[in-house]
């Protein structure tokens, strides 16, 4: 692995027994895990290429316990890595050898459903899908729907600002969270936001969402819930070229239509998905679009007609409209099976997550094809077409010497390309450890210093989830002294992680 | 020393801010001055951002617009309207609320003050539509946050912090906003004569229905009309709007008779709500953010003390015109779990009552540290918000 994590502190490791004993006094019973074989399940998250058992795992059950653990660790200079369900694809919950892994899995209760104000108050360990399950009998749902929604927790969704296929219409996590209870690294418990739309003062809630567990530990979340759409219909459109598919997407939005979801698959993704799921995808196309419209029946019918018209104008070679919900779900079954489908044609794959301006799509896919040839690795592309979020999956075999390194190098080239055409390193998976060292491709040192100074305002000792997001660990005092004027950087030459 | 600075380039702005930091000069970042009368009057040097004006990049199918922060709001709105799009958070010009002509408000000003209209309820606020900014911080450093794409989680979400920062973090020079298609059709359905409790119930029922109501507001009789009006706005494509209006009639049949407001009347109703015109004559104007269900008890209590008011955001935003004891307003908002902003008041009151609802000490301390992260010398602290003892 090319990744370097902060050097473990020998003085902390030497005090391991004492630290575990102190944690046991705060969280009695089975809430502290320290045996090596019991630590094993916590050594990685959804980014399984990286593994590191933590010094200990603590699983508190109350906010007071979280606060006491954080206060103790802060006072003792012990690092803390928060963990939700452990489904991060960017290594956000990767442990450190000298850190306490703080798991929120026991915070699993729905505390309040307030239909009158259309919100739910939940603990962070509640899964994304469980929120919808808790409110669906009254006809509501929680809109952000990351594909891991059966397993991922709302606390992790807040940390990563999770998206999903329906975020084009309904927004990502940050647009659907009203408030949090947050425990800071020094143990202080604060509330940001509440049950109203805006908070008083600075929008600190806005910066907590997507902060990847570096600013505080969320112990309660208030989310908006929405009436479930009356109906949903999907149209499956095949194209003879990526260009015409991309133009169709631009024209749908140009006509003022914001579909609930608009997904694109390239030829290789269509073939892999069809071989796996047998859902009847056309195989003689270069690009396949799934466009889902939801809302009242009259709206769906009208918009499906409009999308069909726009598709025909863009030389669609096949157009199929779902006739019932079973058929709509079948259209999705292939797309949603893209990961296991790719898993069947390749021993390993590496999923990327850049976003680009949509108009650059044909050019970007062409250049990815070129990189595929030069790196000698196949790539399968699925794409949240409506918002420009690309998920190229690089196929490799970890058992072949050098292939993982080549896959990572290919992935980095893709992300550099995304930034080059005006896009970003990550649209919904987070920076974590995975994209940490690429941050300077997108941000200058001055830009990053401004972000890191926020970290210092929350956690001046840099004890919470260090080694994630930022490629360089500047001590807060150094950041304060750093002076840059008119872009003239006078940076101390600090060691990289 | 000059009392107004008018930089037109990032380098000049950077120099001006670095000079101010060296000399300990306080700078009041300003656009068109439409909200100058909010907060305590200040003698700080005015940093006029209107030199950073103009459309930088607009690609309608990408739903992304980049403009200079000092560009007039009206210019931005005309541009996107010409392409069938809109700023979905519906920012509005505060000038007329303070007796000034309309047209001065800038896009940077409305974003920095987190100004949003009735559509905030369903389409989000300025925070949800600011994708990227360029700014000069209190050290004179030029930096960016966010990116020019609609979906991005790379690094901390600094645009959220800048939206609603009231010029206390950094001077924004350039903003990238998400724009949305303007609805092709719009209908407003109203119920007359509802009490606050029944208006809240009708709005809550409508918002929980499949009618996909985009805005909900209520103007009571006490605020000048012959009878109270509870209004629900339905927008979208023509066939869908017609179907949802019919659905709404059915959903609200136990709440009252629905009438369709003629287009011109509907437009003036929503403008009145957005710009608070029914309360224009009051000396003291508060805006209270709460969970909608708590609104009726609040307005009942203040109406009995002589207040006038209206509901926007389905009751989650209360505009309260109340010239009585200011000490009553914030405790009432707090008991409801919300907060109150003092928007308009006589100068004597604004010198002692903070514009923004005071935060609990731990949050206030955290906000202070975040402000110092961007502005270590406190040069953007003009005393306007009465929460920094060293800034007066």
B240 and A299 within 8 Å at the Cβ level: the answer is yes
Neighboring chain B residues of A431 at a CB cutoff of 8 Å: 153-155
For A351, the domain range is 346-420
Find residues 142-171 of chain B whose CB sits inside 8 Å of chain A: 142-145, 147-158, 160-161, 163-165, 168-169
Q: What's the pTM?
A: 0.96
Looking at the fold, whether B87 and B153 belong to one and the same domain comes out as yes
Indicate whether A377 belongs to any domain.
yes
Neighboring chain B residues of A456 at a CB cutoff of 8 Å: 369, 373
Structural domains in chain A (count): 5
Looking at the fold, whether B160 and B81 belong to one and the same domain comes out as yes
Indicate whether A183 belongs to any domain.
yes
What is the distance in angstroms between the Cα of B230 and the nearest Cα belonging to chain A?
A: 17
B210 and A227 within 8 Å at the Cβ level: the answer is yes
Question: Given this model, what pLDDT does residue A482 score?
Answer: 64
List the single residue in B128, B357, B373 with the smallest CB-CB distance to A457: B373
B124 and A198 within 8 Å at the Cβ level: the answer is no
Indicate whether B113 belongs to any domain.
yes
B158 and A457 within 8 Å at the Cβ level: the answer is no
For B6, the domain range is 1-182+360-378
Pairing, β A140-141 against β A226-227 = antiparallel
B151 and A453 within 8 Å at the Cβ level: the answer is no
Q: Kindly report the CATH number assigned to the domain that includes residue A81.
A: 3.30.43.10
Question: Given this model, what pLDDT does residue B222 score?
Answer: 87
Q: Report the 3 state secondary structure along chain B.
A: CCCEECCCCHHHHHHHHHHHHHHCCCEEEECCCCCCCCCCCCCCEEEEHHHCCCEEEEEHHHCEEEEECCCEHHHHHHHHHHCCEECCCCCCCCHHHHCCCCCCCEHHHHHHCCCCCCCHHHHCCHHHHEEEEEEEECCCCEEEEECCCCCCCCCCCHHHHHCCCCCCCEEEEEEEEECEECCCEEEEEEEECCCHHHHHHHHHHHHCCCCCEEEEEEECHHHCCCCCEEEEEEEECHHHHHHHHHHHHHHCCCCCCCEEECHHHHHHHHHHHHHCHHHCCCCCEEEEECCHHHHHHHHHHHHCCCCEEEEEHHHCEEEEECCCCHHHHHHHHHHCCCEEEEEECCHHHHCCCCCCCCCCHHHHHHHHHHHHHHCCCCCCCCCCCCCCHHHC
Looking at the fold, whether A168 and A214 belong to one and the same domain comes out as yes
Q: In which band, very low, low, confident or very high, does the pLDDT at A489 lie, cut at 50, 70 and 90?
A: very low
Indicate whether B338 belongs to any domain.
yes
Question: Given this model, what pLDDT does residue A339 score?
Answer: 85
Q: Kindly report the CATH number assigned to the domain that includes residue A282.
A: 3.30.70.2190
pLDDT at A192 over 70: yes
Instruction: Give residue-wise pLDDT tens across range A67-108.
Output: 999 999 999 999 999 999 999 999 999 999 999 999 999 999
Average pLDDT, chain A: 93
Q: Kindly report the CATH number assigned to the domain that includes residue B269.
A: 3.40.462.40
Instruction: Give residue-wise pLDDT tens across range B350-388.
Output: 999 999 999 999 999 999 999 999 999 999 999 999 998
Mutate to test the interface with B, among A90, A168, A206 (most CBs of B within 10 A): A206
Question: Given this model, what pLDDT does residue A2 score?
Answer: 66
Looking at the fold, whether A222 and A237 belong to one and the same domain comes out as no
pLDDT at B392 over 90: no
- The more confidently predicted of residues A22 and A472 is A22
Q: In which band, very low, low, confident or very high, does the pLDDT at A490 lie, cut at 50, 70 and 90?
A: very low
Neighboring chain A residues of B18 at a CB cutoff of 8 Å: 485
Neighboring chain B residues of A462 at a CB cutoff of 8 Å: none
Question: Given this model, what pLDDT does residue A472 score?
Answer: 86
Query: How many whole angstroms from its chain centre is CA B46?
Result: 22
* Contact residues for A222 (Cβ-Cβ < 8 A; gap 6+): A119, A120, A121, A122, A177, A178, A179, A180, A193, A194, A195
Looking at the fold, whether B159 and B280 belong to one and the same domain comes out as no
List the single residue in A196, A227, A426 with the smallest CB-CB distance to B154: A426
Indicate whether B385 belongs to any domain.
no
Indicate whether A394 belongs to any domain.
yes
Closest of A228, A257, A230 to residue A385, by C-alpha:
A257
Q: In which band, very low, low, confident or very high, does the pLDDT at A216 lie, cut at 50, 70 and 90?
A: very high
Looking at the fold, whether B224 and B291 belong to one and the same domain comes out as yes
Q: Kindly report the CATH number assigned to the domain that includes residue A138.
A: 3.30.465.10
Looking at the fold, whether B251 and B129 belong to one and the same domain comes out as no
Mean pLDDT computed over A381-391? 93
Tell whether B182 lies on the interface with A, counting CB pairs under 8 A: yes
Looking at the fold, whether B368 and B285 belong to one and the same domain comes out as no
Instruction: Give residue-wise pLDDT tens across range B284-304.
Output: 999 999 999 999 999 999 999
pLDDT at B70 over 80: yes
Question: Given this model, what pLDDT does residue A281 score?
Answer: 96
Looking at the fold, whether A241 and A335 belong to one and the same domain comes out as yes
List the single residue in A160, A206, A254 with the smallest CB-CB distance to B153: A160
Looking at the fold, whether B178 and B264 belong to one and the same domain comes out as no
Please state, in angstroms and rounded to a whole number, the distance separating the CA atoms of residues A266 and A364. 13
Neighboring chain A residues of B82 at a CB cutoff of 8 Å: none
pLDDT at A483 over 70: no
Looking at the fold, whether A174 and A97 belong to one and the same domain comes out as no
Question: Given this model, what pLDDT does residue B277 score?
Answer: 94
A296 and B211 within 8 Å at the Cβ level: the answer is yes
Instruction: Give residue-wise pLDDT tens across range B307-328.
Output: 999 999 999 999 999 999 999 9
Indicate whether A250 belongs to any domain.
yes
Question: Given this model, what pLDDT does residue A485 score?
Answer: 52
Structural domains in chain B (count): 2
Indicate whether A324 belongs to any domain.
yes
Neighboring chain B residues of A356 at a CB cutoff of 8 Å: 149
Tell whether B287 lies on the interface with A, counting CB pairs under 8 A: no
Give ∠ CA A27-A31-A36 in degrees, rounded to 5: 125
Indicate whether A173 belongs to any domain.
yes
Please state, in angstroms and rounded to a whole number, the distance separating the CA atoms of residues A463 and A80. 6
Question: Given this model, what pLDDT does residue A202 score?
Answer: 97
pLDDT at A484 over 60: no
Indicate whether A246 belongs to any domain.
yes
Mean pLDDT computed over B169-187? 97
Please state, in angstroms and rounded to a whole number, the distance separating the CA atoms of residues B34 and B40. 15
Indicate whether A429 belongs to any domain.
no
What is the distance in angstroms between the Cα of B183 and the nearest Cα belonging to chain A?
A: 8
Looking at the fold, whether B193 and B149 belong to one and the same domain comes out as no
Mean pLDDT computed over A125-137? 98
Looking at the fold, whether A90 and A127 belong to one and the same domain comes out as no
Question: Given this model, what pLDDT does residue A486 score?
Answer: 52
Looking at the fold, whether B131 and B69 belong to one and the same domain comes out as yes
Question: Given this model, what pLDDT does residue B321 score?
Answer: 98
Looking at the fold, whether B189 and B168 belong to one and the same domain comes out as no
Neighboring chain B residues of A388 at a CB cutoff of 8 Å: 62, 149-151
Q: In which band, very low, low, confident or very high, does the pLDDT at A492 lie, cut at 50, 70 and 90?
A: very low
List the single residue in A424, A428, A448 with the smallest CB-CB distance to B147: A424
Looking at the fold, whether A99 and A155 belong to one and the same domain comes out as no
- The more confidently predicted of residues B61 and B129 is B129
A254 and B61 within 8 Å at the Cβ level: the answer is yes
What is the distance in angstroms between the Cα of A30 and the nearest Cα belonging to chain B?
A: 32
Please state, in angstroms and rounded to a whole number, the distance separating the CA atoms of residues B268 and A362. 46
Burial class (CB in 10 A: 0-12, 13-18, 19+), B239: middle
Looking at the fold, whether B368 and B283 belong to one and the same domain comes out as no
Neighboring chain A residues of B239 at a CB cutoff of 8 Å: 298-299, 301-302
Looking at the fold, whether B191 and B177 belong to one and the same domain comes out as no
pLDDT at B391 over 70: no
A197 and B60 within 8 Å at the Cβ level: the answer is no
């Amino acid at each position: 692995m090319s990744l370097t994590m902060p050097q473990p502190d020998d003085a902390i490791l030497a005090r391991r027994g004492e630290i575990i004993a102190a944690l046991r006094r705060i969280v009695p019973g089975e809430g502290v895990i320290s045996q090596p074989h019991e630590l094993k399940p916590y050594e990685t998250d959804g980014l399984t290429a990286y593994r590191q058992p933590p010094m200990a795992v603590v699983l508190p059950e109350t906010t007071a316990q979280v606060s006491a653990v954080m206060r103790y660790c802060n006072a003792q200079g012990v690092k803390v890595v928060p963990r939700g369900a452990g489904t991060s694809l960017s290594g956000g919950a990767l442990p450190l050898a000298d850190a306490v892994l703080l798991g929120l899995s026991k915070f699993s209760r729905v505390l309040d459903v307030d239909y009158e104000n259309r919100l739910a108050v939940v603990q962070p360990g509640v899964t994304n899908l469980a929120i919808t399950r808790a409110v669906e009998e009254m006809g509501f749902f929680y809109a952000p729907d990351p594909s891991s929604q059966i397993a991922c927790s709302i606390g992790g969704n807040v940390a990563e600002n999770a998206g999903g296929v329906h975020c084009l219409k309904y927004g990502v996590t940050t647009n659907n969270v009203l408030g949090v209870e947050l425990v800071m690294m020094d143990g202080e418990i604060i509330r940001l936001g509440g049950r109203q739309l805006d908070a008083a003062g600075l929008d600190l809630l806005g910066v907590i969402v997507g902060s990847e567990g570096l600013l505080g530990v969320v112990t309660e979340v208030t989310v908006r819930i929405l009436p479930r759409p009356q109906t949903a219909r999907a149209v499956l459109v095949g194209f003879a070229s990526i260009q015409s598919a991309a133009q169709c997407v631009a024209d749908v939005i140009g006509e003022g239509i914001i579909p609930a979801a608009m997904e694109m698959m390239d030829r290789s993704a269509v073939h892999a998905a069809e071989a796996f799921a047998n859902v009847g995808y056309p195989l003689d196309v270069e690009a396949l679009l799934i466009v889902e419209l939801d809302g009242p029946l009259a709206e769906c019918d009208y918009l499906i007609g409009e999308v069909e018209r726009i598709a025909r104008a863009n030389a669609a070679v096949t157009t199929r409209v779902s006739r019932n919900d079973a058929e709509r779900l079948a259209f999705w079954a292939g797309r949603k099976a893209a990961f296991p489908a790719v898993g069947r044609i390749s021993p390993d794959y590496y999923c990327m997550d850049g976003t680009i301006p949509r108009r650059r799509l044909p050019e970007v896919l062409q250049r990815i094809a070129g990189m595929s040839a030069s790196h000698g690795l196949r790539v399968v592309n699925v794409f949240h077409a409506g918002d420009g979020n690309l998920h190229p999956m690089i196929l490799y075999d970890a058992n072949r010497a050098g292939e993982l390194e080549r896959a990572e190098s290919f992935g980095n080239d893709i992300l550099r390309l995304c930034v080059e055409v005006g896009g970003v390193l990550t649209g919904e998976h987070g920076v974590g450890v995975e994209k940490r060292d690429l941050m300077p491709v997108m941000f200058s040192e001055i830009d990053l210093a401004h972000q890191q100074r926020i970290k210092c305002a929350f956690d001046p000792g840099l004890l919470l989830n260090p080694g994630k997001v930022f490629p360089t660990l500047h001590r807060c005092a150094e950041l304060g002294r750093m002076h840059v004027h008119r872009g003239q950087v006078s940076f101390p030459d600090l060691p990289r992680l | 020393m000059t009392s107004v600075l008018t930089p037109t380039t990032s380098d000049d702005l950077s120099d001006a801010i670095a000079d101010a930091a060296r000399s300990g000069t306080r700078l009041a970042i300003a656009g068109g001055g439409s909200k100058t009368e909010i907060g305590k009057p200040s003698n700080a040097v005015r940093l006029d951002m209107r030199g950073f004006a103009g459309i930088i990049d607009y690609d309608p199918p990408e739903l992304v617009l980049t403009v200079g922060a000092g560009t007039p709001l009206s210019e931005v709105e005309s541009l996107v309207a010409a392409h069938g799009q809109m700023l979905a958070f519906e920012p509005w010009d505060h000038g007329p609320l303070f007796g000034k002509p309309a047209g001065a408000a800038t896009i940077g000003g409305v974003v920095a003050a987190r100004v949003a209209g009735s559509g905030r309820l369903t389409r989000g606020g300025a925070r949800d539509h600011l994708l990227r900014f360029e700014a000069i911080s209190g050290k004179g450093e030029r930096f960016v946050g966010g990116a020019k794409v609609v979906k991005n989680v790379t690094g901390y979400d600094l645009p959220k912090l800048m939206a609603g920062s009231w010029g206390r973090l950094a001077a924004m020079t350039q903003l990238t906003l998400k724009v949305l298609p303007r609805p092709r059709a719009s209908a407003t359905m109203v119920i007359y004569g509802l009490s606050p409790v029944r208006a809240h119930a009708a709005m809550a029922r409508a918002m929980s229905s499949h009618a996909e109501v985009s805005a909900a507001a209520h103007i009571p009789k006490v605020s000048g009309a012959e009878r109270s009006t509870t209004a629900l706005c339905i927008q979208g494509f023509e066939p869908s709007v017609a179907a949802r209006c019919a659905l709404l009639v059915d959903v609200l049949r136990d709440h009252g008779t629905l009438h369709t407001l003629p287009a011109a009347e509907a437009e003036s109703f929503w403008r009145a709500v957005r710009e608070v015109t029914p309360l224009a004559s009051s000396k003291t104007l508060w805006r209270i953010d709460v969970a909608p269900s708590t609104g009726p008890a609040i307005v009942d209590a203040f109406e009995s003390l002589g207040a006038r008011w209206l509901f926007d955001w389905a009751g989650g935003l209360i505009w309260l015109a109340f010239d009585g004891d200011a000490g009553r307003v914030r405790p009432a908002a707090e008991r409801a779990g919300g907060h109150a902003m003092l928007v308009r008041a006589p100068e004597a009151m604004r010198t002692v009552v903070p514009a923004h609802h005071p935060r609990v000490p731990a949050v206030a301390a955290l906000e202070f540290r975040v402000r110092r992260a961007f502005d270590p010398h406190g040069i953007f602290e003009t005393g306007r918000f009465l929460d920094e003892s060293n800034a007066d």
